[in-house]
Structures are given as C-alpha cells and as structure tokens.
Structure 1
Amino acid sequence: MTTFSSLLQRKEDRVLVLTINNPGKRNAIAADLYDNIRTALAAAADDPDIGAIVLTGADNYFCAGGDLELISKRRGLNYEARIERLGHLHDVVCKLRDFPKPIVAAVEGGAAGAGFSLALACDLLVASADAAFSIAYVKVGLTPDGGITGLLAQSLSRQLLTQLALTGDRITAEQLEHHGVVNKLAAAGQAGAAAITLAARLAQGPLHAMASIKALCRHAHERTLDDQLEAERTAMAVAQGGAEAAEGIAAFLGKRPADFASLRRDDAASGTAAG
C-alpha cells in the first residue's frame, strides 16, 4: 500500500483503489488531496495493468467536503486568489469525469459538499444503504461548487435540487437510487467490496470502446438527437476498424471469452493511449 498524506492506493488485481484519507475529519478535503488524485489518475491512465478505479473514503465515510478551517483562511485572500484555489477542485472533477477508464465511487456513511461532487464525478456510484448525502453549503453561508448542481441536475428535478441546495437537508442513498443517481445499494460496510466487484468486471472490458462509451454517455444530455447520432456514427466507425472489435467479434463467434487485456499490453508497448 502506498501512503500519501491524504490518499491511500492499493491494487485489487486490475482495479486501483484510491482512498481519501483524513479520518479525523470524516475525510474532509486536505490541502494536498487534489494534487494526489491528479498524480494517481495520470499514472493509472498509462498503466496497462489497471483497467478500472474505485474511489472511496477511509473509516467507513466517503468525504465530508471542504475543511472549514482551511476555507476560513481563504477569506483573507483576494477574489482572484480564491478563484484560483477553487479551480483545483473543478479540475479534479473534470479529470475524474474525463478519465478514459471506468471509475466507481464507493460511498460508506455519507458524502457532503465537495465530497458529494467527487462521488458524482465518477462514472458509477455504489453506496451503503445507510449512507446519506447533502449539499451542505447553505448552512455555513456558502454556495455550491464542484459541479454538484450541474451533475445532480442530470437526474433530479429542478424543484428537488433547489430544495436540497437551499435547505442543506440530507438525502438518503435509497432515495438517490430511486432517482437513478446511485447505481447499486450495498449492505452497511459492504459498499467498497461491491464497488470493487463491479470495477473488476469493467476492468476486463475493451479500453478504447469503453472510453468512447463514457464520452457518448457524458454528452448525451446536452446534445440534440441529431448531434448524438453523428457522434455515435463516428465512434462506431472508429470502433469497427479497431483491434478490440476484431478480438471481441472473433471471441463471440468462436464461443470463447474475449482477451482485451492482451490488447492493452500491446497498446502500452506501442505507446498508444486510450480515448
């Protein structure tokens, strides 16, 4: 296990598990967390032995969001400096969203504020049935950031999103599953294991095809149907000519499991990147 001041890393076969590690503050975001996540993602993107990532939190809690002691110190900064600091969170949200390999959030206990944003930026979300989530900014006189309103607006009605943001009230994992935000509920204490199982399945898939699928799904809400049809046509034309399709179709016709992992190793040897 590699230990950073705010992030732990370990591998479970082809799955990289990243654990936010600030348990004394319910894994509130430490000053160096964003840099550590960026470094870990950059290394994982180029590692052919990593097919998927799980993002979770230490000691049965995902992330309580921003550390108010650190945030209070930023009140003394000028506007431009505050804008620059906030850009680090937004950059990490985009890097999680745009990462070419699948990322599964595993939420035990709960997630609040920017911690909620980090979970939503992942491709899939597994949560323990007793977990709770909140957009808690209003309770300390702040406004949402980290893309949380945009990410939740893809699944929640404007009225419910506004209620959660204006009140700071908690919403349960079961309620979020009902609204399609949570993909899978797990028993208390089992969200991490369930997320690793899901990520391990995804890690066996075709890397380039999955990167294209992620991009198509990410933009589907904002494009017109005509634009999405064109994006799908382009992606399909590229995929049909690729080695992954050759292997996948041959495996299907030959009634054998597809071996996409060997293609990843070939890509790494030739310096080919996914995406």
Structure 2
Amino acid sequence: MSSAPVTLELAGGVAWLTLARPERRNAIGPEVARALRDMADRCADDARVRCVVLTGSGRFFSVGGDVDLFAKAGDDAEATVLDLANSFHAGIHRLATMAKPLVTAINGPAAGAGFSLAILGDIAIACASAHFTSAYSALGLTPDGGASWWLPRLVGLRRAQEIMLTNRRIEAQEAAAIGLVTRVVPDETLIDTTREIARSLAAGPTTAIGRCRSLLLASTTQDLATQLDDESRWIASSASGAEGREGIAAFLAKRPPNFIAK
C-alpha cells in the first residue's frame, strides 16, 4: 500500500497520530509497528510537539496484532512475532517515557495489542461505542504492548487477572468505572473533547508534565525514600526553571500563566 500506515498531523503544538489501516481494522503488522515507532521518535524529539494524541481511523481503534501474519509465518512464527513485538515495543516505550503527555482517543473497539495501546494514554478518552478485550489467551497467546504491566496498575491485580484470563468484553462505561479509561464521551464528541484536552495540555508546563510522567512511572518500582529524593530534586529544579518562575509569577499576579516560550 502506498498510503502511510500511521499518519501524523501537527497543529497548535498537538501531534495527532492516527492508525491508518481502516480496511484491516488497524491491525498491528510490521509496517504499522515500524511507523508507530518512527512517529513516536519524531514526536519525542520535535520541540514543536507539546502533546501527542493517538487514535484510530474508521470504526475501530485497533483489533490488535495481525493474526493473518502469524498464521502465514508457519515454522518462522517465533522469529516473525518476536521481530514484530520488538518493533512495536520500541514505539510503546518511547510514547510511555517521552517528556510530553499522551492522550488516547479510543474511537472504537480495542483488542489485543490495540487494547495495550488504548490504555497507554495519560488521559484515555473512549467513545461510548468502544469496548475492550484482552483477547490474547483466546488465541493461545500471551500479552504484548505492555498490557501485563499497565493493567494491574490501572485496575488492580484481581481485576487484571479476570480481564486477561477470561477475555471478557468490557464496555466503555465499565472501563471508566474501573479505571481502565479516564472518561467516556458520546461518539460524536470524541474528537472535539480530545482536542480540547490536548490543547490544554499543550499550553501547560511541558517540562513539569514530563517530569510528572517520570515520577509516576518510577513510583511503581522504587522505594519511598528514593521517590522522595527524586521529588525533592525535580521540584527544586522546576522551581528554578522558566516554567516554575512563570507559574509562580502568574499565581502572585493573579493572571493566567504563559508556559509557551516565545
């Protein structure tokens, strides 16, 4: 296919990444995985990008890995899937650790690797018709895309066990109730709601937000003393930086802060 498997549109400091294989229900194959990795690198490295939105095209967010590819690989399935997973995971890791916020706009069903992508956002906005399925064990497979790492942290181990082992379908409203996503909105308002949130984040203190992301990720693996040391170091550095000075000055002057460098 000549069209890009993942498209990027930059507007007002917000980079919109769109999975662009609607005819394949945005399945994750090698081309999509490589494109997502490359786009994630571009967004992370481009100073013009202050917030990233990830969404899907068509009726689906993503049905997950390209099962047809797995079947066609035959005896080479292990090497094929390993290459795909490694490429996909490079993009996942960059999106999760970049110093910029990530919003996922879940425009339809998300399963397997698509499920992993959907729950990756710092803010995950689902349309009312979206639903979620782990799907892996139904195919005799194990998770990828970080699902086994994110899911227990979002919904707790007990719920994560049920979701991953039974593959039951989770409707959008339940997903919000258990913390799998941030919010559910009507289908017709998904893009407008996401745009409003992304613009607000893009106008915010990007450096501080990036450091918040790092602290939240680190909190799951390090002890309290180390976390407190990191908090001390980052808040001191932030207070002396341009964003901190602007935020404090604006607060004292009772005016809106301007965090975007001129």
TM-score, normalised relative to structure 2:
0.92
Residue aligning to 2:42: 43
In structure 2, distance between residues paired with 1:94 and 1:144: 15
Residue aligning to 2:128: 129
Per-residue deviation, residues 89-143 of structure 1 (Å, max 9, x unmatched): 2222111101111110000221100011112222220001221001101222212
In structure 2, distance between residues paired with 1:8 and 1:231: 36
Unaligned 5+ runs, structure 1: 266-275
2:155 is paired with a residue of what secondary structure? coil
In structure 2, distance between residues paired with 1:133 and 1:224: 33
How far 1:82 sits from its partner (Å)?
4.1
**Pair 1:107 & 2:103 matched:** no
Cα distance change of structure 1 residues 185 and 246 upon mapping to structure 2, 3 Å threshold: same
In structure 1, distance between residues paired with 2:260 and 2:180: 30
Unaligned 5+ runs, structure 2: none
Q: How does 1:202-241 map to 2 (within 5 A)?
A: 202-241=201-240
Residue aligning to 1:269: none
Residue correspondences, number: 261
Cα distance change of structure 1 residues 102 and 251 upon mapping to structure 2, 3 Å threshold: same
How far 1:224 sits from its partner (Å)?
2.4
Cα distance change of structure 1 residues 78 and 180 upon mapping to structure 2, 3 Å threshold: closer
Kindly provide the amino acid, as one letter, of the partner of residue 133 in structure 1.
F
Residue aligning to 1:147: 146
Q: How does 1:1-275 map to 2 (within 5 A)?
A: 4-77=3-76, 79=78, 82-262=81-261
Per-residue deviation, residues 47-83 of structure 1 (Å, max 9, x unmatched): 3332111100001321110111112233422745643
Cα distance change of structure 1 residues 119 and 222 upon mapping to structure 2, 3 Å threshold: same
2:141 is paired with a residue of what secondary structure? coil
Contact 1:134-1:171 at 8 Å conserved across structures: yes
TM-score, normalised relative to structure 1:
0.88
In structure 2, distance between residues paired with 1:78 and 1:129: 36
1:250 is paired with a residue of what secondary structure? helix
Cα distance change of structure 1 residues 82 and 42 upon mapping to structure 2, 3 Å threshold: closer
In structure 2, distance between residues paired with 1:75 and 1:111: 26
2:118 is paired with a residue of what secondary structure? helix
Contact 2:135-2:167 at 8 Å conserved across structures: yes
In structure 2, distance between residues paired with 1:101 and 1:32: 25
In structure 1, distance between residues paired with 2:180 and 2:163: 14
Identical residues among aligned pairs (%): 33
In structure 1, distance between residues paired with 2:257 and 2:146: 37
In structure 2, distance between residues paired with 1:198 and 1:61: 21
Contact 2:44-2:94 at 8 Å conserved across structures: no
How far 1:225 sits from its partner (Å)?
2.2
